[in-house]
């Protein structure tokens, strides 16, 4: 999971796994954004544990879903596409 957009009513939340070194699974961060409130928080970081950020982000999205949020994955524009 790279990015999930969650919505509830007029509110939007974005959970993104950010890789600080392109093409490398670590180091990474899980970024939680509230676009309508212009807020962003780093929830978790990993320096050398591959898969940690992805797992934490997925758990957080699942928690949002249990709270009534509707979440769906989106493509991130910062990844280069071949072709």
Alpha-carbon Rg of the chain, whole angstroms?
A: 13
Q: What does pLDDT average to in each consecutive run of 10 residues of the chain (83 residues)?
A: 91 95 93 93 96 97 98 68 37
Burial class (CB in 10 A: 0-12, 13-18, 19+), 36: exposed
Whole-prediction pTM: 0.85
């Amino acid at each position: 999971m790279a990015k999930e957009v969650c919505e509830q009513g007029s509110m939007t939340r974005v959970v993104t796994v950010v890789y600080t070194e392109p093409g490398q699974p670590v180091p990474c961060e899980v970024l939680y954004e509230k676009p309508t409130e212009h807020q962003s928080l780093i929830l978790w970081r990993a320096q050398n544990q591959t898969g940690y950020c992805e797992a934490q982000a997925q758990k957080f999205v699942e928690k949002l879903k249990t709270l009534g949020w509707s979440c769906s994955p989106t493509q991130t524009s910062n990844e280069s596409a071949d072709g």
